[in-house]
Amino acid sequence: MHDFQNMAWWAILWSLIKIVIVVVPLLLGVAYLTLAERKVIGYMQVRLGPNRVGFKGSLQPIADAIKLMFKEVIIPTNANRFLFLAAPVLAFVPALLVWAAIPFGPGVAISNMNAGLLYVLAIAGLGVYGIIVAGWASNSKYAFLGAMRAAAQLVAYEIAMGFALVGVLMLAQTLNLAKIVEAQAGGGFWSWYWLPLFPFFLVYFISGVAETNRAPFDVAEGESEIVAGFHVEYSGMAFALFFLAEYANMIFVSLLTTVLFLGGWYAPINTPLLTWIPGIVWLLLKTAFLLYVFLWIRATFPRYRYDQIMRLGWKVFIPVTIAWIVIIGVALETPLRAILR
């Protein structure tokens, strides 16, 4: 009995260590992604970006964090106090929980779940509750409009994302994220799922941009229309939690796209020159490239109208994904099955 208790405590301690190993770099990544965004977009628009705090602005995220910690959190007079303070937590916690099932290499994950993809979809969909609750609890028409926009947008693009993942399941025949990566091994970048599932790859990534309320899909917080949308009444650390959630979700969408469509931790060309590089390096490089595309999109495209966003989700993405599911299903019943798998 005593040995069993020691084993249980050790298992709990090891799980906590793994959580810290994942969460601390994630929070640092979130902080410096804000700096990368300001620098990258600055260079694209022929500006310098932050360059005052630290070497060429390298300590700007730390200065921003300190500033937000000391700013007052103002609660509107007629707001629902409990829900107003709970909303940022409801948005932020799911952005951390999804990382429990993400594999960073063969056997390297907080939890190697057999239904990992299902878990990720379920938890990721909870984040919108924080946005909806924030809009309602603020007792502000602008905030409520932003919350309703976010809810409608989530429904439209969550369906398209779900259909895009069906194609991955049809080829990999598993919900385990590590096994999905292993199913793409062996042939370099042409054996990854982005090639046979290219429409799904595009739909999933663009839907991920929409799900995270990033430009040009940021009508939920459209400054020119509804001031700042669902977080218009927030300040200080309550405001910061919403943006920690947004940037954590950006990293998550990019990493999950890498796992599902870009071969995860495998090298793009199966040669000794590249395969000696640790898999985690390839995983992070692919994720960084997709994050760069996030920033590139923001610097390039103007904000879409609300009706254009809804039309793209319902009338373009959903029909395209359904049609490609049928095509993949038919192909799997022909001699092409050996090529696809």
161-200 pLDDT per residue, tens: 999 999 999 999 899 999 999 998 877 888 899 988 999 9
287-325 pLDDT per residue, tens: 999 999 999 998 888 888 888 889 999 999 999 999 999
Cβ neighbors of 16 (< 8 A, separation 6 or more) are none
263-291 pLDDT per residue, tens: 999 999 888 888 888 999 999 999 999 99
Residue 314 DSSP code:
I
The mean pLDDT of the chain is 87
Report how far apart, in Å, the C-alpha atoms of 66 and of each of 59, 63, 149, 155 are.
11, 5, 32, 36
Q: 58: exposed, middle or buried (C-beta count within 10 Å: 0-12, 13-18, 19+)?
A: middle
Give the start-to-end residue ranges of the domains of the chain: 1-70, 81-339
Predicted TM-score of the model (pTM): 0.92
Average pLDDT over residues 226-237: 79
pLDDT at 135: 86
Report which of 11, 317, 328, 304 is spatially closest to residue 149, judged by C-alpha positions. 304
Percent of the chain with pLDDT over 90: 41
